[in-house]
Structure 1
């Protein structure tokens, strides 16, 4: 197992410190999981090291009365799910998400996102890659952002405690994320993409009588038009539900995030948009990890020249933070 230290370095001029286990070169193909992981980890770091760019739109009630910073728990591994989304999305998009109804639900389960997830929290202290989605369960994911490598309809998973901060298997649900980088997917919502994001099939829930609410997000990074959409609510009669979802708790909230720039995600500053676009272009070409050097049992990935268009703002805001990340 190789360790990736100081995650913010991934946004700096040189990513030469990225090392992975011998024979296990990081392969992101054309899906863009690593770009999404960068966005998510940057959101996490920004929450604990606020920069004026990210916090200027917060209301006074959301800031610490003395430090003039967003309030957050003392434990850096956990933060409010709503705060996470507020850091990730722009104000109008965030408000839309708070008010929208589930995309799919049983009769009698129609409540807004805010009502359902107002007490939920996100636990994260590392990022791990898995080859077999069958190894994922409520017992296993607890602290990790999961990056999948098989075709299971889910590319990343963020663990969420549904009720408060209690970290136990039967209180774990997740944000399921699928990433699209090709131009076939644009700003218009395509519901079949959400349909394959099955929380039971990937092993998150093994007890079908206790399926918690799930959030499904599609990051359409290749979209030219930046926009955040939430599909209209649909109440599903029992015969239309998948065979395993025979419990009244079957409910999903779907969010379609198009674009890979500041207009798509608040956590990406205007100065960073060009760098992210260059990163996306390299991912499409499959050039992200095509220069590999062997050095005594380890591989060192030398990032393409386009990545040297660094994110100075992120460096200034987060250069003192370190988060331990590993890939298996």
Structure 2
């Protein structure tokens, strides 16, 4: 009985020492240490899974623009420099945007342009005849002149809308990144192209005759109006990459190709662009690049279409929201 009286207090003491209440004092430091470690990993994952929007607003100044226009089987070639392009440009809108969550996202672009101008010219031919009269021997001169005057105007309108699914490899693109960091984005989707060609032509034909007895002049004017409009869809693939040179400077490359002859007798378009961007704030960059654009389309079952090639400077404003 004496041993039981000694053992009972020992068991009760051990039980009270092993109870949760006995660990109440040292527990808080352990929980604080665990909470300090967990948020670091969670925060990095949340930042990578945030929604991000990249917006490019830019203006294209082609130093050279060559366009072959075919309307109802009649072809004409327009070769313009930058001054000619600015003189004939009547509408322009260019923007590219990318929406991303994690590594997947959507990419879209709009390129719209409208050109209008006039053309004209004249040509003539003269036929002179002289002969001597049988009775008097006098020399008789006759002249027949044919003249043609051409006066017309044209309009070329084009709209391209890109819609694609994109995947990013590498770092998240931001205005300020560590030197040496790189971002690569590949995308695939569709390019919707709408093109309109219209032209009004006035042709004036005139003839005149001068002779010793009779003088006459006749003229006639005839007008021709033609227009073609078509919308087609091209499969689209492409990529763009970004490399950080320093805290403020980044280099970038953009390439795409579409069409591959699937929507017309001739059907191909593409863009190649390379340049640099300078960071001017926490979310904004100024960009300067050299760009090439080409589109060749000839519709099935008709002789309508155009082949356009342009290259020149591209100045833009890049805004990155996160």
Q: TM-score, normalised by structure 1?
A: 0.27
Q: Which has the higher strand share?
A: 2
Work out which of the two has the higher radius of gyration on C-alpha atoms and give 1 or 2: 2
TM-score, normalised relative to structure 2:
0.27
**Higher relative contact order by CA 8 Å / sep ≥ 6: 1 or 2?**
1
